[in-house]
Amino acid sequence: QAQLVESGGGSVQAGASLRLSCAASASIYSRHCMGWFRQAPGKEREAVAIISRGGRETYYADSVKGRFTISQDNAKNMAYLQMNSLKAEDTAMYYCAAGSAYFCVRPTQNDVDYWGQGTQVTVSS
């Protein structure tokens, strides 16, 4: 069954770090770009970071550039989001996502083929 399963969320103080993990089924991982979206209460879901299938290209939202790093492990069908210097405004539900075509270069939630169930990240100031 094609699926994405996130882990690694939690509650931290501002300035701390967290690493989110996404386990993808092989059928998804081999054919799609991987990425992370987030949705804060009352706000639209937004793309945070995307990584191409080969891992050579990445996209980051301006709000996380220099603080977050997306990576992947092809041997394990895993994607990761390392989040450093967390801020209160990073508080949101974080979703692993997979897509192709426009997802890989111009990520919006409309281009997502698969969603994970989400993992909560709460940053207190």
Q: What pLDDT, in 10s, does the model give residues 20-68?
A: 999 999 999 999 999 999 999 999 999 999 999 988 999 999 999 999 9
Q: What is the pLDDT of residue 102?
A: 87
Does residue 7 have a pLDDT over 90?
yes
Percent share of the chain, pLDDT over 70:
100
Q: What is the DSSP string of 67-80?
A: TEEEEEETTTTEEE
* CA 115 – CA 118 distance, rounded (Å): 8
Token pair of 31, please? 């054919």
Q: Is the CB of residue 32 less than 8 Å from the CB of residue 99? A: yes
